[in-house]
């Protein structure tokens, strides 16, 4: 069996189940074949010699973590400047929030080259390499330039925007051409595949060899939708465990006379938080019977605070929450409980289970695992209702959720009301179908399908 090499900006620790489903699933795959997980290390002084920047840490389970330290200038330009200041907004359709500076693009290229050089020194001829996410799009091209001929796959965790949005990105042709150095490109959804196909044909003049393969630049690229899932069993086990059960008991007691709604997100402008608050406000305005009843607990975990747009979204969200609470609160009821801090991982399923309704309303999202976690955490006998944006990748699978357009405030408010009033039998049926779906397409199946497809492709 070939050895698996996973590359991502941040290396996970597969030995800690609390580090999330992705780390666990990749950890499983790495343990099976023995493997290497490579990513960015610490920020170090620019004068630190290259040979002192690569660190190898063998774990017990035949997996080695390899990290490469970067200089402050390189890391900031690559991570904050280009990956999160340009690619993240553009790929989430927010050209207005992209701050393009050629120096950041240079740093992005430089870091991908440094990664490739360090990684190439660790590779064996029959390794299988799996690169993750927008930070590392040109990595395979850099590896190929160094003579690496291994099979290399790429998975994009965020959406791929339509052709004309991508075309507005300076250097888009260079970036998209770099995909052809991969043997397989995985996207989250069929909608993303439509965008890729159209871009490749219209902008890269690629030949469409089949539904999933394209020829251009003397290379063949195979691509497909591989929607990511959860580690469902572990998530359910976490929901049954004491920390989640304690959270559930406390919330049930506190909200015994109320209907609890929940939102859990990184504080990111892609998650549609202001739109969600406006819909909640409309609900309270139009349906006075929900006042004193519906209480929204919104966790907005701090994220990327060094990027300017994230400060703006925080101010906007806090002003909306403050105004709603000011306008509607009573002495014994506050409509929104807003927490600007992360909740402990083990408590998260308890909050999901205590809620009657989850509001997962991103303006655009590659997948959105919160939607799937909410489904996994429910009690099948008395499940809550998922209100889900049709613009989350998850909407392609969770068709039994109440799908909404988050820009349509009135319709979203009505969907929330529908969710609050949904009869038990309908809730059970919808939940049953969604649970079956997330079980069938869990993170292990995702990982297997991607790697099997990659193994199927002839190497470079």
List, by residue number, the catalytic residues.
157, 365
| 338, 300 contact by CB (below 8 A) | yes
Instruction: Determine the Cα–Cα distance for residues 326 and 334; give it in Å rounded to an integer.
Output: 9
Tokens for 200?
A: 């490749």
Least CB distance to ligand GDG at residue 345 (A)? 4
Least CB distance to ligand GDG at residue 436 (A)? 20
- Comparing CB distances to ligand GDG, the nearer of 71 and 247 is 247
- Comparing CB distances to ligand GDG, the nearer of 38 and 88 is 88
Closest by CA to 33, choosing from 404, 362, 451, 366, is 451
> Which is it for strands 294-301 and 213-216: parallel, antiparallel or unpaired?
unpaired
Least CB distance to ligand GDG at residue 394 (A)? 7
- Comparing CB distances to ligand GDG, the nearer of 20 and 224 is 20
> Which is it for strands 213-216 and 207-210: parallel, antiparallel or unpaired?
antiparallel
- The residue behind tokens 């029959």 is 126
| 123, 148 contact by CB (below 8 A) | yes
Instruction: Determine the Cα–Cα distance for residues 318 and 324; give it in Å rounded to an integer.
Output: 10
Judged by the rule CB under 6 A, the positions of this chain that interact with ligand GDG are 20, 157-158, 228, 264, 266, 299, 301, 342-343, 345, 348, 365-370, 373
Instruction: Determine the Cα–Cα distance for residues 76 and 395; give it in Å rounded to an integer.
Output: 34
* Ramachandran region, residue 207 (left: φ > 0; alpha: ψ -120 to 50; beta: rest): beta
- The residue behind tokens 């939708």 is 225
- Comparing CB distances to ligand GDG, the nearer of 296 and 370 is 370
Alpha-carbon Rg for the chain, nearest whole angstrom, is: 23
* Ramachandran region, residue 46 (left: φ > 0; alpha: ψ -120 to 50; beta: rest): alpha
Residues in the chain: 460
CA angle 401, 19, 386 (to 5 degrees): 10
- Who's near 331: CB < 8 A, 6+ residues apart? none
- Who's near 193: CB < 8 A, 6+ residues apart? 187, 223, 224, 225
Least CB distance to ligand GDG at residue 268 (A)? 6
| 394, 361 contact by CB (below 8 A) | no
DSSP state, 213? E
CA angle 230, 36, 33 (to 5 degrees): 70
- Comparing CB distances to ligand GDG, the nearer of 301 and 460 is 301
Closest by CA to 126, choosing from 152, 163, 158, 145, is 152
Instruction: Determine the Cα–Cα distance for residues 109 and 401; give it in Å rounded to an integer.
Output: 41
- Comparing CB distances to ligand GDG, the nearer of 67 and 397 is 397
3-state secondary structure of 313: helix
Least CB distance to ligand GDG at residue 301 (A)? 4
- Comparing CB distances to ligand GDG, the nearer of 64 and 303 is 303
Instruction: Determine the Cα–Cα distance for residues 16 and 449; give it in Å rounded to an integer.
Output: 24
- Comparing CB distances to ligand GDG, the nearer of 18 and 432 is 18
- Comparing CB distances to ligand GDG, the nearer of 41 and 159 is 159
Least CB distance to ligand GDG at residue 164 (A)? 22
| 383, 356 contact by CB (below 8 A) | no
Least CB distance to ligand GDG at residue 306 (A)? 17
């Amino acid at each position: 069996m070939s050895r698996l090499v996973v590359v991502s900006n941040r290396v996970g620790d597969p030995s800690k189940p609390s580090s999330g489903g992705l780390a666990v699933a990749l950890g499983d795959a790495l343990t099976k074949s023995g493997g290497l997980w490579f990513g960015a290390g610490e920020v170090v002084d620019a004068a630190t010699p290259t040979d002192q920047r690569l660190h190898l840490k063998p774990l017990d389970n035949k997996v080695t973590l390899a990290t490469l330290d970067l200089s402050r200038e390189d890391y900031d330009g690559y991570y904050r400047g280009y990956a999160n200041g340009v690619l993240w907004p553009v790929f989430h359709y927010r050209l207005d929030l992209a701050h393009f500076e050629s120096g950041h693009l240079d740093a992005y290229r430089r870091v991908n080259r440094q990664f490739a050089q360090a990684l190439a020194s660790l590779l064996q001829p029959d390794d299988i390499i799996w690169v993750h996410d927008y930070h590392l799009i040109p990595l395979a091209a850099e590896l190929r330039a160094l003579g690496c001929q291994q099979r290399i796959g790429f998975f994009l965790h965020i959406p791929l925007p339509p052709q004309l949005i991508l075309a507005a990105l300076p250097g888009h042709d260079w970036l998209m051409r770099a995909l052809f150095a991969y043997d397989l490109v995985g996207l989250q959804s069929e909608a993303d595949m439509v965008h890729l196909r159209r871009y490749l044909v219209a902008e890269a003049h690629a030949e469409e060899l089949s539904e999933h393969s394209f020829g251009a630049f003397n290379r063949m690229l195979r691509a497909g939708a591989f929607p990511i899932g959860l580690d469902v069993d572990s998530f359910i086990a976490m929901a049954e465990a004491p920390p989640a059960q304690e959270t559930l008991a406390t919330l049930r007691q506190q909200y015994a006379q109320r209907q609890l709604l929940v939102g859990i997100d990184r504080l990111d402008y892609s998650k549609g938080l202001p739109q969600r608050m406006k819909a909640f406000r409309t609900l309270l305005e139009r349906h006075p019977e929900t006042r004193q009843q519906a209480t929204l607990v919104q966790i907005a975990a701090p994220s990327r605070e060094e990027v300017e747009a994230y400060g703006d979204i925080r101010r906007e969200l806090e002003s909306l929450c403050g105004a709603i609470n000011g306008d509607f609160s009573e002495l014994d009821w506050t409509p929104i409980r807003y927490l600007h801090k992360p909740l402990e991982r083990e408590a998260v399923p308890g909050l999901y289970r205590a809620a009657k309704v989850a509001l997962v309303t991103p303006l655009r999202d590659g997948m959105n695992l919160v939607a799937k976690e909410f489904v996994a955490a429910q009690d099948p006998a008395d499940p809550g209702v998922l209100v889900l944006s049709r613009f989350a990748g998850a909407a392609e699978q969770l068709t039994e959720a109440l799908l909404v357009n988050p820009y349509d405030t009135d319709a979203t408010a009505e969907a929330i009301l529908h969710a609050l009033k949904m009869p038990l039998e309908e809730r059970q049926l919808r939940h049953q179908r969604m649970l079956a779906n997330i079980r069938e397409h869990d993170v292990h199946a995702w990982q297997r399908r991607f790697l099997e497809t990659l193994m199927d492709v002839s190497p470079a």
